[in-house]
Chains A and B, each alone.
Chain A
């Protein structure tokens, strides 16, 4: 399991409008591309060889499954903002302000009163 690498995915994609658009439209292809050429990048010149996704992490990212990502300990801020970027506008047009954020919370209700999965990396 690599919480760090999942967070790196969320971090690099949320901050880049082109990546975000590709992850929104075709998540399966984009996750594969990210694993090949974006995730390993340390800087313009250097590549890292040390991280990779588990099958469960890859599936959760492909499926935009923020509940699974929360339960794996992905950082709550990254896990929220990227999916607001993807879903907020459509939900707002259909169901009003904060509709996506409220649905996000509703799908995590089984965690109320429990210790949340740790976001430590």
Chain B
């Protein structure tokens, strides 16, 4: 059976590439520190020597729109184009073509359906920065096939936090049951407290630094009980109108299981708290 070798959950800051590659005299003061942290985080993936990346992100109205809006969607294609015109324009993110793994996508889709997660699917999925940002940060050579999974964190009504956690557990089961000798890493991105297009956007910190610190602690200790007790759609909205990206962290904790994280780092950046977590399966770490 396939082996899950690492679970990574991080924020995805679309300006990372631009902020760390512009001429040094124009860079923000935190750019070198940010780059060091990302390179250290990248190593938590590289050392596990994965063959396939199961990638969880959320389309930001790039391919998916309100005329036809799935809660959960899996890509099933041999290849995926990535980066839309407005992401190149706003963030300076280049275009990519990622290899897919149709066989694993198909297995994952059927397995998740068998676990009562009735996924939408796409045979022609163009990927946006929620999946390209982690490629840039943790696998910049973009040399591994991907199985992309999209969640809806944007267009209410959204699935519950518990549903996101259970979906993570279901993805873990599907990886564990995949009849292959491949080494699989699961990588998901989202946000801590975040405000976009509202009165609390682009402040010195994220809109709710208290939530950010608490969320990091919950994830560090794998405390899904405390998360489900304290986090709902209304509480996330109070912490910032785009804080629902935290749902993808909850999903990734479902993939990892309710365990202490093996690697935790964060960076207090203008208008967001960046956070980086890696879990290694206990049997693999032994």
Contacts and interface: CB of A to CB of B under 8 A. Distances in A.
Interface size class of B (residues with CB under 8 A): 20 to 34
A112 interface: yes
Would you call the interface of chain A mostly helix, strand, loop, or mixed?
Answer: helix
A116 B198 contact: yes
Interface string B23-62: 0000000000000000000000000000000000000111
Interface stretch (B84-92, B115-123, B166-174, B179-187): B84-92
Contact of A7 (B66, B85, B86): B66
B169 to A, nearest CB: 28
A80 B66 contact: no
B61 A75 contact: yes
Interface string A11-33: 10011110000000000000000
Given A15-B84, A120-B157, 20 more contacts: A7-B65, A8-B65, A11-B61, A14-B86, A15-B62, A15-B85, A76-B197, A77-B196, A78-B197, A81-B86, A88-B90, A98-B202, A104-B201, A105-B198, A105-B202, A108-B199, A111-B198, A112-B199, A115-B237, A116-B241
19 contacts: A4-B66, A7-B66, A11-B65, A11-B66, A70-B198, A77-B60, A77-B242, A81-B90, A88-B90, A101-B201, A101-B202, A102-B202, A104-B197, A105-B200, A105-B202, A111-B199, A115-B237, A116-B241, A120-B157
